[in-house]
Structure 1
Amino acid sequence: MSIYRSDTSAARMERLGPNTSDRQRTTSKDVRTEHDVLEMAILGLLKDQELHGYELKKLLGETLGPLSSVSFGSLYPALARLEAAGAVKAVEANRPIASIPMTGSLGGERAAYRARGVIRGSRGKKVYGITEQGQRLFEELLVADAQSAGDDRSFTLRLAFARHLPPDGRLSLLERRRAQLVQRLARTRQTIKAGRERLDAYTRSLVEHNTETTERDISWLDRLIAAERSSARRGDRPAAKRSRQTAKTEDSDR
């Protein structure tokens, strides 16, 4: 357990106090989980290369998915937390930043204008890099159990960075996720069985769709687990991923 995670957990509980309601504690836990997911994604991307805040935002959107809605308002506080904890470092850089494309909507243009203002300021000149403390924190977050309502996104993110896990860690991640889905499938089937007569056709079709989706996910995990076990028997290692900067350089040279 890192100093950063222990300190923030203790401080958070102290702020909540002994008389805090279960709902408040649950809300605090959910916020911490959201922070963990974002911080893990930031650290995972910085393991590949140092990045501007704008570049981080763009890559976070690609990594966390289109529904993640990572904004500068959540990104920079996360970077500030990580920097204060010694997990990331910020250095000045002179390399150019890509322009923000026009969105075609008034709200989008306003957001783009505000983002351009941020980039022109001091933040836009910073390049963030991961530290040794950040490496340890990333490893801690990567292997942590995902028990919140955000399991789906948390698992997807962990799988995206699974190349950084040892073979037994990857296998544990996949097996734990499979067990979660098996439990989810059992609950869904019980819901269908208990409420089939009360559900209208549309609600029932949604429940059945969720069941089929979960079944497909379990089959997919079975294939991944089998491949992981086969790879472990052969002593294979996951191929190292090229840094995005290397890929950009190679593409520009063509």
Structure 2
Amino acid sequence: MLESLILGIVYDEDLTGYDIKKNIEKSFGVFYKASFGSLYPALKRLTGKGFVTTYEHPQGGRQKIFYHITEAGKSSFLEWLSSPMNILDGTNLNLAKVYFFDRLPAEIRDTQLLLYENNNISYLRELEALEKSLSHMDHLDSCYYKMSTLYYGISVTEKTIEWCRHIREGKVLKELTAK
């Protein structure tokens, strides 16, 4: 995942490892974190795969290593970006992917979001069935906090479905938070 995100970041601009880390923090760092300890090994793997190349360039009186995406790297990134989102990957990883959806043609974007929405609807049905089956349990009050995680999952999934519909329909983004 981190490798794909890095490719998206350097897609249009050559950057240093430090700049890539800062870009992650300012763009989607609210829902995805990457440490330098994970970033530099990922950059090394990308270089080894031929997805990025490096070059040195003076900056601020020092020689800095810049990362440049190759055509193979662009192809790999677009292939990843066009692949369906899996709800089991977690919300944060899927949001990091959606962050780059402006690079996709509208029909691929819409298909992905509709599929993601439908997968969340199916998942919501599973959670609601679980809730229904558990509601008949004796001593339900003794597992209040366990049940609270189920209700959290239901709430987040409902909101995710609403979010998918909202952005698929191209509605004004502020409307979603105004409720």
TM-score grouping bracket, smaller chain normalisation: 0.7 to 0.9
**Residue of 141, 157, 160 corresponding to 1:217:** 160
8 Å CA contact 2:47–2:53 kept in 1: the answer is yes
Residue 101 of structure 2: aligned partner:
162
* 1:210 Cα deviation from its structure 2 partner: 2.2
Shift in CA distance, 136/85, structure 1 to aligned 2, threshold 3 Å: same
Question: 1:50-83: CA deviations, max 9, x gaps?
Answer: 1111111122234453564422222112111111
User: Contact between 2:53 and 2:68, CA under 8 Å: does it hold in 1?
Assistant: yes
The higher radius of gyration belongs to: 1
Separation in structure 2 between the aligned mates of residue 160 and residue 52 of structure 1, nearest angstrom: 21
* CA positional deviation for 1:209: 2.8
Q: Any idea what SS the aligned residue of 2:163 has? A: helix
What secondary structure, in the 3-state scheme, does the structure 2 residue paired with 1:94 have? strand
Q: Which residue of 2 aligns with 1:134?
A: 73
One-letter amino acid matched to 1:125:
K
**Hey, what does 1:38 align to over in structure 2?**
2
Q: 1:91 aligns with which of 55, 63, 77?
A: 55
Q: Aligned equivalents of 1:210 and 1:53: distance in 2? A: 36
Task: Give the counterpart of 2:127 among 179, 188, 191.
Answer: 188
The TM-score with structure 2 as length reference comes to 0.82
Q: 1:66 to 1:160 in 2, by over 3 A?
A: closer
When residues 160 and 68 of structure 1 are mapped into structure 2, their CA distance, relative to the original with a 3 A threshold, is: closer
Question: Do structure 1's residue 61 and structure 2's residue 25 form an aligned pair?
Answer: yes
2:55 is paired with a residue of what secondary structure? Answer: strand
Structure 2 unmatched ranges of 5 or more: 172-179
Asked which structure has the greater RCO (Cα within 8 Å, sep 6+), the reply is: 1
Seq. identity, %: 30
- Number of equivalenced pairs: 167
With the length of structure 1 as denominator, give the TM-score of the two structures.
Answer: 0.59
* Cα distance, 1:148 vs structure 2: 7.2
Where 1:227 maps in the other structure, the secondary structure is coil
Q: Would you tell me which structure has more strand in proportion to its own residues?
A: 2
* Counterpart pick for 1:79 among 43, 46, 49: 43
- For residues 102-113 of structure 1, the aligned pairs below 5 Å read none
Asked if the contact 2:84/2:116 (under 8 Å) is kept, the reply is: no
In 1, distance between residues paired with 2:96 and 2:35?
A: 18
